[in-house]
Amino acid sequence: MDSSHRLFSFQRILAIAANTLTELTRQKVFYVLLIFALVLIGSSVFMARFSFQQEFQIMKDISLGAMSIFSSLLAIVATARLIPQDVDDRTIYTILAKAVPRFEYLLGKLLGVLLLLAISVVLMSALFIVVLYVREQTVVSETLRQMSRAPREQMDNALNAVRAAGLNIDILAGVAVIYLKACLLAALTLFVSTFATTNIFTVVVMVFVYFIGHLQSTAREYWLEQQTTGWLTRAFLALVALIFPDLQAFNLVDEIVAGVAIPLALLANTALLGIFYIGIYTLAATFVFYGKEL
Amino acid sequence: MTEEAIAVEGLTKVFHVPFHRKAIVAVRDLNLRVGPGEVYGLLGPNGSGKSTTLKIILGLVSPTHGRTKIFGRDSSLVESREAVGFLPENPYFYRFLTGEETLRFFGKLCRLTGSRLNDRVRELLELVGLTNARDQRLSTYSKGMLQRIGLAQALVNEPKLVVLDEPTGGVDPAGSRAIRNIIADLRQRGITVLLSSHLLTQVQEICDRVGILARGVLVREGHLEELIAIENRTELVLENASDALMKEIEKLAANSNAKLVERRRSTTTLERLFLDATKRNDETEMSKPEEMTKSE
For a pLDDT cut of 90, what percent of chain A falls above it?
38
Predicted confidence at residue A260, as pLDDT, reads: 76
Checking if the pLDDT of A221 tops 80, the result is no
**Cα–Cα dist B221/B41, whole Å:** 10
- Number of domains into which chain A is organized: 1
Alpha helix locations (H) across A147-225? Answer: 152-165, 170-195, 199-225
Note whether A19 contacts B105, CB cutoff 8 Å. yes
In a domain, A166, yes or no: yes
* pLDDT bracket for residue B155 (50, 70, 90): very high
Predicted confidence at residue B287, as pLDDT, reads: 45
Predicted confidence at residue B254, as pLDDT, reads: 86
In a domain, A110, yes or no: yes
Chain B partners within 8 Å of A97 (Cβ): 58-60, 81, 84-86, 88, 163
Predicted confidence at residue B156, as pLDDT, reads: 95
> How close is the nearest chain A Cα to the Cα of B207, in Å?
23
Predicted confidence at residue B58, as pLDDT, reads: 94
- Out of B83, B108, B153, the one facing A15 most closely (by C-beta) is B108
* pLDDT bracket for residue B165 (50, 70, 90): very high
Cβ atoms B86, B154 nearer than 8 A: yes
Alpha helix locations (H) across chain B? Answer: 50-57, 99-109, 114-127, 143-154, 173-188, 200-206, 224-228, 243-255, 270-278, 282-286, 290-294
**Cα–Cα dist A49/A40, whole Å:** 16
**What is the Cα gyration radius of chain A?**
23
- Looking at per-residue pLDDT, the higher value among A37 and A214 belongs to A214
Least-confidence region, from A49-53, A281-285, B182-186:
A49-53
- Out of A1, A3, A100, the one facing B109 most closely (by C-beta) is A100
End-to-end CA distance of chain B, in Å? 48
Note whether B86 contacts A19, CB cutoff 8 Å. no
In a domain, A4, yes or no: no
pLDDT digits 0-9 by tens, B114-129: 999 999 999 999 999 8
- Out of A5, A22, A98, the one facing B109 most closely (by C-beta) is A98
Cβ atoms A112, A24 nearer than 8 A: yes
Note whether B94 contacts A89, CB cutoff 8 Å. yes
- Out of B91, B97, B113, the one facing A94 most closely (by C-beta) is B91
Which residue of B109, B112, B119, B157 is the best one to mutate when testing the A interface, meaning the one whose CB has the most A CBs within 10 A? B109
Which residue of A93, A95, A96, A292 is the best one to mutate when testing the B interface, meaning the one whose CB has the most B CBs within 10 A? A93
- Residue A197, SS3 per DSSP: coil
pLDDT digits 0-9 by tens, A239-285: 777 778 888 888 887 777 777 778 888 889 999 999 999 999 999 99
Chain B partners within 8 Å of A116 (Cβ): none
Checking if the pLDDT of A87 tops 60, the result is yes
Predicted confidence at residue B192, as pLDDT, reads: 96
Chain A partners within 8 Å of B81 (Cβ): 97-99
Q: Which value, to the nearest 10 degrees, does the dihedral of the CA atoms of residues A241, A247, A249, A254 take?
A: -150
CB atoms within 10 A of CB B189: 9
CA distance readout (Å), A155 to A52, A57, A132, A170: 16, 22, 21, 25
Checking if the pLDDT of B289 tops 70, the result is no
H/E stretch holding B177: helix B173-188
All domains of chain B in start order, with CATH: 6-232 (3.40.50.300)
**Cα–Cα dist A51/A62, whole Å:** 16
Q: Domain range holding A212?
A: 10-290
Which residue of A19, A88, A105 is the best one to mutate when testing the B interface, meaning the one whose CB has the most B CBs within 10 A? A19
Note whether A94 contacts B158, CB cutoff 8 Å. no
Which chain B residue has its CA at the smallest distance from A2's CA?
Answer: B111
pLDDT digits 0-9 by tens, B17-56: 777 778 889 999 999 999 999 999 999 888 889 999 999 9
Cβ atoms B70, B241 nearer than 8 A: no
- Out of A93, A95, A294, the one facing B109 most closely (by C-beta) is A95
Predicted confidence at residue B290, as pLDDT, reads: 40
Q: What is the mean pLDDT of chain A?
A: 86
pLDDT digits 0-9 by tens, A110-165: 999 999 999 999 988 998 899 888 888 888 888 888 888 888 888 888 888 888 77
Average pLDDT over residues A26-32: 76
pLDDT digits 0-9 by tens, B223-245: 877 777 777 788 888 888 888 99
How many contacts, defined by CB atoms under 8 Å, are there between A and B?
Answer: 101
Predicted confidence at residue B270, as pLDDT, reads: 66
In a domain, A139, yes or no: yes
Note whether B60 contacts A294, CB cutoff 8 Å. yes
* pLDDT bracket for residue A75 (50, 70, 90): very high
- Out of A19, A98, A294, the one facing B81 most closely (by C-beta) is A98
Cβ atoms A111, A187 nearer than 8 A: no
- Out of A90, A91, A97, the one facing B81 most closely (by C-beta) is A97
Predicted confidence at residue A162, as pLDDT, reads: 82
Average pLDDT over residues B83-105: 92
Q: Which value, to the nearest 10 degrees, does the dihedral of the CA atoms of residues A100, A103, A105, A111 take?
A: -140
Cβ atoms B154, A94 nearer than 8 A: yes
Which residue of A1, A25, A116, A286 is the best one to mutate when testing the B interface, meaning the one whose CB has the most B CBs within 10 A? A1
In a domain, A2, yes or no: no
In a domain, A61, yes or no: yes
In a domain, A37, yes or no: yes
**Cα–Cα dist A104/A8, whole Å:** 7
> How close is the nearest chain A Cα to the Cα of B252, in Å?
59
Q: Which value, to the nearest 10 degrees, does the dihedral of the CA atoms of residues B98, B103, B108, B114 take?
A: -90
Cβ atoms A124, A34 nearer than 8 A: no
H/E stretch holding B17: strand B6-17
CA distance readout (Å), A293 to A52, A79, B7, B14: 59, 20, 21, 12
